[in-house]
Chain A
Amino acid sequence: MQSSVKRPVLIRIICILGFIWIVFSFPSVFSPAIKKMGDWYPALFGLIVACSFISYIGVWHMKRWGVQLFAITFFVKEAVLFMVNDVSYPGIAFSVFFLTSMLFFYKRMDLNL
C-alpha cells in the first residue's frame, strides 16, 4: 500500500488540514442549517464532502487522481455555494492555495490508481 513517491511536507500539512476540515464538515451535512437550504442540499453537500475526503486520500498517497478529484470537487462546491449565495472568500483562498500546492507537486505524483 506504500506509494513509491515520497510525500512532501507541504502535501502532508495540506492533507492533515483537509482531514480536519472533513471532520468538521461531516456533521454539518445533517445540520439543521444545511437542511433548511433545500431537500437535496444535504445530499449534494454530502457528495462534496465524500469526494473531498477521497481526494485527500488520493493526494496523501501522492496520486494524480487525488488532485484531479480535488479540483473538480472545488469547482462544483464553489458553483453550488455561489448558487445558494453562501460563498466564503477565505474558504476559496484556502482551496486555491491547496490546489496550487498540489499542482506544484503534480508531476511527481503517481499516474495509477
Chain B
Amino acid sequence: MIVFGLLKESVSFAIVSLVTNKLRTILSLLGITIGIFAIIIVFTIVDSLEQNLRKSVQSLGDDVVFVQKWPWTFGPDYPWWKYMNRPVPDYPELNKILENCDGAQSAAFLISSRITIKYKSNSIERVNINCASHQYDRVKNFEIADGRYFTDIESASGRPVAVIGDLLAKALFPNQNPIGEMVKINGAKVMVIGVFKKEGESILGGSVDTEVLVPINYARTLIDIRNEDLDPQILVRAKPGISNDDLIDELTGLMRSIRKLKPRSDDNFALNQTSLISNQFDSLFGVVGVVGWVIGGFSILVGGFGIANIMFVSVKERTNIIGIQKSLGAKNYFILSQFLFEAIFLSLIGGTIGLLIVFLLTLIAGDSIGMEIVLSKSNIILGFTISILIGVVSGFVPAYGASQLDPVEAIRSN
C-alpha cells in the first residue's frame, strides 16, 4: 500500500514537471507525435487498401475458376503471340464442363459489353451489361435486394428480362419501383425483374451497382456473343470440399479433351483464380508496409532520442531537488519511477496526439476518396505500445541515473 502511495506520488511529481515546462514538453513530444503518425498512417492506409481489395476479390469468388483466353498474370517473357492465336471459350464448352466435370458444383458462361439503357426520358450510356447462362447466380456472389433472379424457362428461352444495379435503378427510376417496368437496352424492350443489393464501389472496378444482367440466350438477339472483344469466359465453382487446385487439374484435362489437344501440345486456354490477384497484391502491400515501417522507424528513433535528451536535461536541472528528496527518505525506486513515468507520459501524450491526427485524417479521407479507411484496433494498440516502449527505453537510463545519485553530492550541485 505504501509502495502504491509512493508510486502515485511519483506520478503526480511527473505530471507537475511536465505542466511546469510546457514548451519543452511540447517540443519533445513532437518527435514522438510525428513518428507515431508516420507509422500508423502508413499501416492504416495499407490495411484499409488490403481490406477493400480482399473484399473485392472475394466478391469474384474464392472457389471459382475462370476459363479464359488470357491468363491474369504472366512474367516478362511470356509468349503473347501464342496467346493471341488461342480460341476464346464458347457456350458449347460450358455444357461439356457441366456434363463431365465431377469437381464442379456449378458453372456459367459469361460475356460483358457496354450498352445504352433508357427508361422514358432517362438514358444512361456505356453501362456494363453482363450476359450470363442460368447458373450464374450460383457461381458469382451477389444478392438481389428487390425482385428475383431469372427462372429456368426465362434463361433457356431467352426472355427479355434483366436484373439491374442499385445505382442504375435509382438513376432510371427515381421515386419509383423498377420491378415490372420496361427499359430499352440498345433499343430493345427488356423487363426489369430484379435489383441487385447495393454493393458499394469496388477497388477492382466492376461493381454490380452499375451493371445490368440479362440471360445469355436473350443477349444473342442484341449482340454477337462470339465476339472476342466481349471477353467470353466460363466460370466454374468447386464443390464443397474440392480445392481450387484439384478443380484446376480436372478442368485442365477436361478442356484439353474438349479442344482435342495432342498430348505434347500446350494448353490453349487459361485457368485463372482470384488468388492470382491477391498474391500479386500481397507482395505489393508487403513492400509498402516495409517502406512505411522504415520511414516511421527512423522518425520514432529521432523522437526517442529527443525524449532521452529532455530527460537527461530534466534530471540535471532537478539534481538538487532529487538530493533533498533522498535526504528526506525518498527511496531509489521512488526517484526512478518519478522520472520514468515522466518519460512514459511524455511519449504517451505524443503518441495519442499522433493517433488522433490519423483518426481525423481517416474521417476526412474516407469522405473525400470514397473508400473506407479505418484506424483499426490493432493499429491503435500498436500506436500505444510503441509510445510506451519509447518512453521506457529512452527514459530508463536517465531515470536510473537519477535514482543512483548520492544525496549529499546531489544537494551540493547547482
B404 within 8 A of A: yes
Using a CB–CB distance below 8 Å, which chain B residues touch chain A? 39, 43, 286, 289-290, 293, 296-297, 300, 331-333, 336, 377-378, 381-382, 384-386, 388-389, 392-393, 396-397, 400-401, 403-405
Residues of B within 8 A of A1 (CB): 400-401, 404-405
Q: How far is the CB of A28 from chain B (nearest CB, A)?
A: 9
Give me 10 other A-B pairs in contact (C-beta within 8 A), A30-B385, A42-B385 excluded: A1-B400, A22-B393, A27-B297, A29-B385, A42-B386, A43-B382, A43-B384, A53-B396, A61-B404, A113-B333
One of B297, B388, B400, B403 near A46 (C-beta < 8 A): B388
Given A32-B290, A113-B332, the answer on whether A46 and B385 have CB atoms closer than 8 Å is yes
Using a CB–CB distance below 8 Å, which chain A residues touch chain B? 1, 22, 26-27, 29-32, 35, 39-40, 42-43, 46, 49-50, 53-54, 57, 61, 112-113
Given A1-B404, A43-B381, A113-B336, the answer on whether A29 and B386 have CB atoms closer than 8 Å is yes
Shortest Cβ distance from A40 into B: residue: B381
* A113 with B403: CB separation less than 8 A: yes
Residues of A within 8 A of B397 (CB): 57
Shortest Cβ distance from A54 into B: residue: B396
Shortest Cβ distance from B294 into A: residue: A27
Q: How far is the CB of A91 from chain B (nearest CB, A)?
A: 20
Shortest Cβ distance from B376 into A: residue: A39
Majority SS at the chain A contact face: helix
A40 to B385, CA, bound (A): 9
Q: How far is the CB of A34 from chain B (nearest CB, A)?
A: 9
Could you name 11 residue pairs across A and B whose Cβ atoms are closer than 8 Å?
Answer: A1-B400, A29-B385, A29-B386, A29-B389, A30-B385, A42-B385, A46-B385, A50-B389, A50-B392, A50-B393, A61-B404
Residues of B within 8 A of A46 (CB): 385-386, 388-389
Nearest first, the 4 A-B pairs at minimum CB distance are: A32-B289, A1-B404, A39-B378, A43-B385
Residues of A within 8 A of B388 (CB): 46, 50
Shortest Cβ distance from B389 into A: residue: A46
Residues of B within 8 A of A112 (CB): 332
Residues of B within 8 A of A27 (CB): 293, 297
One of B293, B331, B386, B405 near A32 (C-beta < 8 A): B293
Residues of B within 8 A of A61 (CB): 400, 404
Residues of B within 8 A of A32 (CB): 43, 286, 289-290, 293
* B386 with A30: CB separation less than 8 A: yes
Q: How far is the CB of A32 from chain B (nearest CB, A)?
A: 4
A112 to B403, CA, bound (A): 12
